[in-house]
Amino acid sequence: MTKKLINERNVEDSVLILSENDVVLKKMFKLVGKIKLPNEKLEFKSVCKIIINQQLSGKAARTIFNRIEEKIPNLSPKCFLNISTEELRQCGLSNAKSNYIKLLANKLVHNPLYFHQLQELDTVSAKNEIWSNKGFGEWSSDIFLLFYLRKMDVFPRRDVTLNKVFSKIYG
């Protein structure tokens, strides 16, 4: 069985199919233009962003993440584990999110191939494994699967921004 991962071609194919079957989406795709896939690397730093972004505005999350990067220029699992929760609180990160990221950092220190192992799993197994990490719920695991593992069979149905857009374009 070949793994179907998101790429430029299947995004174009999907836009074409949706446009042929939905007049509203067809208009939206014309307004948006060509959809470019984000070029996200699957690394500790990227996954930290997912956890930090949960239930925050984009601006607040960026501010906190930038402060953390100032404090830890080489944002690796080992470096993150060496920063106290209090120092992370001073950056704006909650105790809970600090603990979630520290748990993930600890997992990566003990198993540096963890992310690679996730890439080898089918979508359901990968989602279950991601959910086994404290601090990852439905939204964060969907984002992880879409943007970092490039799984095609995922839809972040609880994404607030996505729901606002659909609400707006469909009235």
pLDDT in tens, 43-89: 999 899 989 988 888 899 999 999 999 999 999 999 999 999 999 99
* Helix runs in 7-155, H state only: 8-21, 23-32, 44-53, 58-71, 77-81, 85-90, 95-110, 114-119, 123-131, 138-143
**Dihedral pair phi/psi, residue 111, rounded to 5°:** -140, 80
Q: Contact 40/46 with Cβ under 8 angstroms? A: yes
State residue 3's pLDDT score.
61
The CB-based long-range contact list for 35-42 (8 Å cut-off, 24+ gap) reads 35/11, 36/8, 37/6, 37/7, 37/8, 37/11, 38/147, 40/147, 40/148, 41/148, 42/115, 42/119, 42/148, 42/149
d(CA 26, CA 125): 34
- pTM above threshold 0.85: no
119-132 mean pLDDT: 93
Q: Can you tell me the mean pLDDT for 24-48?
A: 87
Would you say residue 130 has pLDDT above 90?
A: yes
